Amino acid sequence: MSFKCGSCGYSSVKWAGFCLRCSSSDALAPAGSGAAAVNLSEAGDSASMQRIRTISEVDRVLGGGLVAGSATVIGGEPGVGKSTLMLQLAGAVEGPVVIISAEETASQVSDRAKRLGIDAGAITLVSESSVDAALEAAIAVDPVLLVVDSLQTVSCAGVEASAGAVSQVRESASRLVRAARHWGVPLILVSHVTKAGHLAGPKTVEHLVDVVLSLEGDPRLGLRFLRPLKNRFGRTEESGVLE
């Protein structure tokens, strides 16, 4: 559910007693679902969708870039370079990017960006584990890309379980995806994996998102391989090689 200010139109995924944009004293009211019926003959195809360009090799795997309002989950073993890749993507995007992280501080991420030679001037880090609080901070930036690193470290109020539990992962993913679709902003969820190499958490997360990517590394060659396991906007036969 989302809430909308009757004065300025500001939308929020969290209720408040006043508008965070125009400070109107009127409480935010629930917004309509906005559901609409579309004739398939009038619907555009995936090639006509607005896409956000990132790194050329990643864009090729995705089928042309990140689709606006889409949700992507990327999994990989610890240390394979998921957080580094997210920072590289954020640095390659034209426009403001928000990275929500409950694991690292702003100084840690800033130091990594400097080591990688990434211009972090348009990157905002939200060090917050609460999904609702993080989304409130993110919307104020009006980002063109939203990254959550990682899905297993954030949680939602009202769910009686700790971060990383199945119920928390499911609800957190659901709220984040709804917010991204509502804003029309591409969302990337970084996920831990199990010992068997599967995404940690419920299978519903894979059904909820549009794209599932697997990042694998070969320490002997110093290369990383990006494989699409699911892609609603492109092929799954394309794999990327990253240094």
With a pLDDT cut of 70, the percent of the chain lying above it is 84
Helix axes 82-92, 106-116, angle to 10 degrees: 70
- Residue 123 in 3-state DSSP? strand
Mean pLDDT of the chain, nearest integer: 87
Find the mean pLDDT for residues 49-72: 95
Question: Residue 190 CA to chain centroid, in angstroms?
Answer: 8
pLDDT band at 219 (very low <50, low <70, confident <90, very high): low
Q: Which of 174, 215, 210 is nearest to 191 (CA)?
A: 215
- CA 170/CA 168 separation, integer angstroms: 5
Asked if residue 96 has pLDDT above 80, the reply is: yes
- CA 111/CA 174 separation, integer angstroms: 32
> What is the full DSSP assignment across 41-82?
GG---GGGS-EE---HHHHHHHTSSEETT-EEEEE--TTSSH
Taking a C-beta distance cutoff of 8 angstroms, is the pair 28, 19 a contact?
Answer: yes
1: Cβ contacts below 8 Å, ≥ 6 apart: 13, 30, 31
Task: Using alpha carbons, list the distances in angstroms from residue 210 to 152, 183, 230.
Answer: 19, 16, 7
pLDDT at 5: 74
Query: Among positive and negative, which fits the CA dihedral 200, 204, 206, 210?
Result: negative
- Give the pLDDT confidence of 220-239 residue by residue, as tens digits: 778 999 999 999 999 999 89
pLDDT band at 37 (very low <50, low <70, confident <90, very high): confident
